Amino acid sequence: MDSYDVVVIGAGNGGLTAAATLAKQGLKTLLLERHNIPGGCATSFCRGRFEFEVALHQLSGMGNPSFPGPLRSMLDSLGVADEIEWVEMRNLYRVVVPGKMDITLPANRKGFTDALIEKFPKEKEGIEAFIDLVYKFFTEVIGAFYMRDPEISPLKYPLYFKYALTDTRTIMDEYLKDPLLKLAVSVYWSYVGAPPRLLAFTEYAAMIFAYIEFKPYHMKHGSQILSNALVDSFIKDGGDVRFSCGAKKILTGQGRVTGVMLDSGEEVSAPYVISNASPMVTCGEMLDKEYQREDFFRQMGGHTIGPSAYTLYIGLDCPHGELGITETTNFICTHTDMERSHTEMKMRDNEPGQMLLTCYNVSDPDASPPGTTQIALVDLKYGEPWLSVPPHQYYDYKYLYGDKMLNVVEGLIPGFRAHIEEMEVATPLTHMRYLNTPAGSIYGFDQFIRDSHIFGALDPGIPGLYFAGAWVGGGGFQPTLMSGGSAARAVAKKIRQERG
């Protein structure tokens, strides 16, 4: 039987950084992935002459070499940051509510503030005070939460104690009036799938702060390039990786993890396992009954499964400029009610309320062959309603919603449909199949206030078993990539302690 210090199950973002970090520390590590390529969500696929990015619309936390964000520092430590050509975006996003608002917000504090004031001059004071609060509050979050200040107190961090678990809508209502303005400043709610009423101000401020200060990024050739670079770094440092090789069972004995059984039935021994699969799959399907701790399942029961996505991957046969597309990141909203948009995420046959149209070529002209354009049009959707679609109707449902999305886009960009050369559709069931996540969740559990990381992480309570990825660190590239590093460091520390 092959023997390892650690087995990592799953080569999504969290699994990849966990494995690369362990190998860098000299630990004998095996990485298992059931798919034939690394990345999980962070992959690409080809149709016709296009290579489509599956997931990444905007990467947070990178920064540039002279002002590195936390993610760049981490990728640097793994030796992969310089392997990638980073594409910085100059604007955060454009928000369009047809006939009512069209605003583009630059990725710098002054530009962001000025653009809002220009559009909503009567709310100048409220806008300035709101953005000021976001910055002052998040500076306190960094000290109190991220730096774990031992002298934390309400006196030292008054805003943190007052607002950390307040919902974003309550605070926005204090400072801003116009529903269009509220939509413009909080449209990023869809990046975590929690509307302002359910979104902790900490999470909101973190997004605005991270994207403004460290800028949003893409990578040339898409996020597959990062996944590949992480695997290369892992192999270079002595790691073993097996693709098309799922983990079937986590082996246990004498109260702890002892190894992993592969889908083939082969067993490998290891005292530590980091799982990038969901805790439901990991603990519910891979562990023997006697190791399925009731208190852990009760703890999980306090959470709900987060959203998946419905995405149209579109290759246009013309340059984006020909259709008047000028921004990379475009939120298209048919109404301003974000609570309603969240409710619509639980439906299959609603009219689209909020979509994200990303045109990769605006910031990276090489995102598709010369004279063409790569577009991703995405709408968050919970997986539940898709699970009840009878197989013989799946095809109809799959295309019906996409057709509605394209109608909205056509209204905004006349001629769009006629230029579609390639199109592929991903529904929550597609993500379920490729990621092995319950209901195709792409962000792990819902990220409502009650799920805030301030309350601590999920602990399966089984010596040797750790998690990495969206289910424990929150969804999105930056959190999942960082969570793998944290899990690996925790395991490495344990091993060092054991070995003296």
Binding residues for ligand FAD (CB under 6 A): 9-15, 32-35, 40-42, 55-58, 246-247, 276-277, 281, 309, 311, 378, 431, 435-437, 442-443, 469-470, 475-478, 480
Q: Which is nearer to ligand FAD, 183 or 435 (CB)?
A: 435
Min CB(39)–ligand FAD separation in Å: 7
Q: Which is nearer to ligand FAD, 113 or 441 (CB)?
A: 441
Min CB(135)–ligand FAD separation in Å: 22
- 336-374 burial: b if 16+ Cβ within 10 Å, else e: bbbeebbebbeebebebbbbbbbbbbbbbeebbeeebbb
Min CB(386)–ligand FAD separation in Å: 14
Min CB(412)–ligand FAD separation in Å: 21
Min CB(308)–ligand FAD separation in Å: 7
Q: Which is nearer to ligand FAD, 181 or 230 (CB)?
A: 230
Q: Which is nearer to ligand FAD, 14 or 383 (CB)?
A: 14
CA angle 219, 403, 390 (to 5 degrees): 100
Q: Which is nearer to ligand FAD, 150 or 265 (CB)?
A: 265
CA distances from 170 to 124, 134, 177, 191, 194 (A): 19, 13, 12, 19, 14
Q: Which is nearer to ligand FAD, 244 or 393 (CB)?
A: 244
Min CB(307)–ligand FAD separation in Å: 10
Min CB(435)–ligand FAD separation in Å: 4
Q: Which helix (H) or strand (E) holds 18?
A: helix 13-24
Please give the single-letter amino acid code of residue 222.
Answer: G
Q: Which is nearer to ligand FAD, 166 or 258 (CB)?
A: 258
Min CB(190)–ligand FAD separation in Å: 9
Q: Where are the alpha helices (DSSP H) in 25-167?
A: 70-77, 109-119, 124-141, 158-163
Q: Which is nearer to ligand FAD, 160 or 188 (CB)?
A: 188
Tell me how far apart the alpha carbons of residues 105 and 89 are, in angstroms, rounded to a whole number: 11
CA distances from 301 to 159, 279, 304, 458 (A): 31, 11, 7, 11
Min CB(222)–ligand FAD separation in Å: 12
Place of tokens 């990381």: 453
Neighbours of 225 (CB within 10 A): 18
Q: Where are the alpha helices (DSSP H) in 201-349?
A: 201-214, 224-236, 279, 294-301, 338-344
Enumerate the β-bridge partners of residue 359: 375
Please give the single-letter amino acid code of residue 488.
Answer: A
Place of tokens 């004071």: 125
Q: Which helix (H) or strand (E) holds 95?
A: strand 91-97
Min CB(110)–ligand FAD separation in Å: 25
CB 67 within 8 A of CB 61: no
CA-based radius of gyration for the chain? 22
Q: Which is nearer to ligand FAD, 34 or 182 (CB)?
A: 34
Q: Please list, in sequence order, all residues whose beta carbon lies within 8 angstroms of the beta carbon of residue 91, skipping any fewer than 6 positions away.
A: 104, 105, 106, 107, 327, 328, 329
Q: Which is nearer to ligand FAD, 213 or 317 (CB)?
A: 213
Q: Which is nearer to ligand FAD, 21 or 113 (CB)?
A: 21
Nearest to residue 402, comparing CAs of 357, 448, 346, 439?
A: 357
Q: Which is nearer to ligand FAD, 31 or 141 (CB)?
A: 31
Name the region of 43 (left: φ>0; alpha: ψ -120 to 50; beta: rest). beta
Tell me how far apart the alpha carbons of residues 251 and 263 are, in angstroms, rounded to a whole number: 13
Min CB(45)–ligand FAD separation in Å: 12
Q: Please list, in sequence order, all residues whose beta carbon lies within 8 angstroms of the beta carbon of residue 115, skipping any fewer than 6 positions away.
A: 103, 104, 105, 106
Six token digits for residue 236: 């270079």
Q: Which is nearer to ligand FAD, 374 or 478 (CB)?
A: 478
